[in-house]
């Protein structure tokens, strides 16, 4: 009976933390006047302040997401995470969702944040004595434009609580905007296959231009040789023209070679890691196979040496036989 009573009181205390306490208690609430130069103190029920911690129950939703995620349900995934010193908690699940469905996560978080902050703002501005006090639709409008860093100024909070919410909304909105920009940039970035295609097209174009530049160099070289051999005064202008075009063709040829070198370096940087790993695995497998072959050959050689020793021991006359002189 005592244990049941203690447990019931503990649950009652927990509920009193997350639910408003009934009663007629009131607190002093500072409200700015119309010109925001003086402060008016009004009495606000204590339920307004105690109703704000109710949103702390959202941690239950976070727990539910972590416990019902496929990372937590899969025993193999949890084992691999434990071996790598990674705990499968809400942060890990949230990072996974941001990697797989970033736009969906940002949209759900943004809409939920708007609804919650608008309700809190309406509660903070609810007991304002001014006739143009902020209601819930105006709170949603104010939170959205503050979240997007627009701020038209048609709706303004008149309490310090509302101002604190406006600052918090602006900070969170800046963070979400940065995350959205990063997600869009990642979506617009070319994939590895697309980069390979662009590099192949660029290399083909540069190869064709290099051939044209080499042909132009040979062409102007022949014209220079031709007009030098003729030695006619009227061909002096043509000789100078082809000499200039010859130098320009050489510079163009060198530029194309440099561009081809940069494209080749970019192609080398795009080497697939999986392909490189497979090549290394095949190389190591080939080295292991050769090592096993050498070990087997050495073992066969050792066996033959043992056979020769056994043969020498079985025929002692061969050991005592005098060596035949070559003389």
**Of 1-5, 33-37, 188-192, where does the model show the most confidence?**
188-192
Q: Is the residue at 94 inside a domain?
A: no
SS3 159: strand
Specify whether 218 is located in the same domain as 156.
Answer: no
pTM for the predicted model, two decimal places: 0.59
Least confidently predicted of 157-161, 279-283, 317-321, 322-326: 322-326
> Nearest to residue 238, comparing CAs of 217, 250, 224, 248?
224
Whether pLDDT at 50 is above 90: no
The pLDDT of 31-45, averaged and rounded, is: 71
Report the C-alpha gap between 165 and 116 in whole angstroms.
11
Q: Where is the domain boundary, 160, 188, 216? A: 188
Q: What percent of the chain has pLDDT over 90?
A: 20
Q: Is the pLDDT of residue 198 over 60?
A: yes
Highest mean pLDDT: which of 15-19, 73-77, 269-273?
A: 73-77
Specify whether 204 is located in the same domain as 264: yes
Assigned domain for 302 exists = yes
**Based on the domain organization, do 166 and 212 belong to the same domain?**
no
- String of DSSP letters for 88-121: -SHHHHHHHHHHH-HHHHHHHHHHHHHHHHHHHH
Q: How many domains does the chain have?
A: 3
Range of the domain at 288: 275-307
Query: Is residue 324 predicted with pLDDT exceeding 80?
Result: no
Last residue of a domain, one of 154, 171, 188: 188
User: Maximum CA pair distance of the chain?
Assistant: 136
Q: Please name the helix (run of DSSP H) or strand (run of DSSP E) that holds residue 27, with its range, or none.
A: strand 26-32
- CATH label of the domain that carries residue 204: 1.10.287.70
pLDDT above 50 (res 3) = no
Is pLDDT at 295 greater than 80 in this prediction?
Answer: yes
Looking at the structure, tell me whether residues 201 and 143 fall in a common domain. no
Determine, yes or no, domain membership for 118.
yes
Average pLDDT for 266-278: 66
Domain co-membership, 180 together with 209: no
Do 219 and 285 lie in one domain? The reply is no
In a domain, 299, yes or no: yes
Tokens describing residue 243: 């000499």
Is residue 204 situated within a structural domain? yes
Average pLDDT score over the chain? 79
> Does the residue 158 lie in any domain?
yes
Q: Given this model, what pLDDT does residue 173 score?
A: 92
Q: Which of 189-193, 219-223, 239-243 has the lowest mean pLDDT?
A: 189-193
Residue 129: predicted pLDDT: 63
Asked which of 160-169, 261-270, 318-327 is least confident by mean pLDDT, the reply is: 318-327
pLDDT at 85 over 50: yes
Q: What is the mean pLDDT of residues 155-163?
A: 83
What is the residue-wise DSSP string for 28-60? EEEEE-TTSSSEEEEEEEHHHHHTGGGGGGHHH
Examine the fold and report which residue of 244, 270, 296 is the final residue of a domain before the chain moves on. Answer: 270
Q: What is the pLDDT of residue 4?
A: 34
The more confident residue out of 269 and 305 is 305
Residue of 159 and 141 predicted with greater confidence: 141
Cα separation of 165 and 298, whole Å? 80
Task: Answer whether residue 249 is part of any domain.
Answer: yes
Is 220 part of any domain?
yes
- Going by pLDDT thresholds of 50, 70 and 90, the confidence category of residue 8 is very low
| Start-to-end CA span in the chain (Å) | 118
């Amino acid at each position: 009976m005592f244990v049941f009573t203690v447990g019931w009181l503990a649950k009652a205390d927990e509920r009193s933390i997350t639910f408003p306490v009934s009663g007629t208690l009131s607190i002093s609430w500072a409200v700015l006047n119309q010109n925001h130069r003086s402060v008016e103190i009004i009495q606000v029920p204590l339920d307004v302040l105690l109703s704000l911690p109710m949103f702390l129950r959202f941690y239950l939703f976070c727990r539910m997401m972590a416990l019902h995620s496929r990372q937590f349900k899969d025993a193999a995934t949890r084992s691999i995470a434990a071996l790598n010193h990674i705990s499968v908690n809400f942060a890990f699940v949230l990072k996974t969702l941001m990697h797989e469905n970033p736009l969906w996560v940002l949209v759900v978080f943004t809409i939920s944040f708007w609804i919650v902050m608008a309700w809190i703002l309406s509660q903070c501005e609810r007991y304002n004595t001014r006739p143009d006090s902020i209601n819930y639709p105006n709170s949603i409008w104010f939170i959205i434009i503050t979240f997007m860093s627009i701020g038209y100024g048609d709706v303004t909070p008149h309490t310090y609580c509302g101002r604190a919410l406006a600052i918090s909304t602006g900070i969170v909105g800046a963070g979400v905007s940065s995350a959205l920009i990063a997600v869009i940039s990642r979506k617009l970035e070319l994939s590895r296959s697309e980069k390979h295609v662009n590099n192949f097209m660029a290399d083909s174009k540069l190869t064709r231009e290099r051939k044209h530049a080499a042909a132009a160099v040979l062409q102007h070289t022949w014209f220079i040789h031709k007009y030098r051999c003729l030695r006619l005064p009227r061909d002096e202008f043509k000789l100078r023209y082809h000499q200039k075009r010859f130098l320009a063709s050489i510079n163009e040829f060198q530029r194309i070679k440099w561009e081809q070198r940069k494209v080749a370096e970019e192609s080398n940087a795009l080497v697939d890691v999986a392909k490189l790993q497979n090549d290394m695995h095949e190389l190591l497998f080939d080295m292991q196979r050769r090592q096993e072959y050498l070990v087997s050959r050495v073992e066969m050689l050792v066996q033959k040496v043992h056979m020769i020793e056994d043969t020498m021991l079985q025929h002692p006359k061969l050991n005592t036989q005098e060596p035949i002189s070559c003389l």
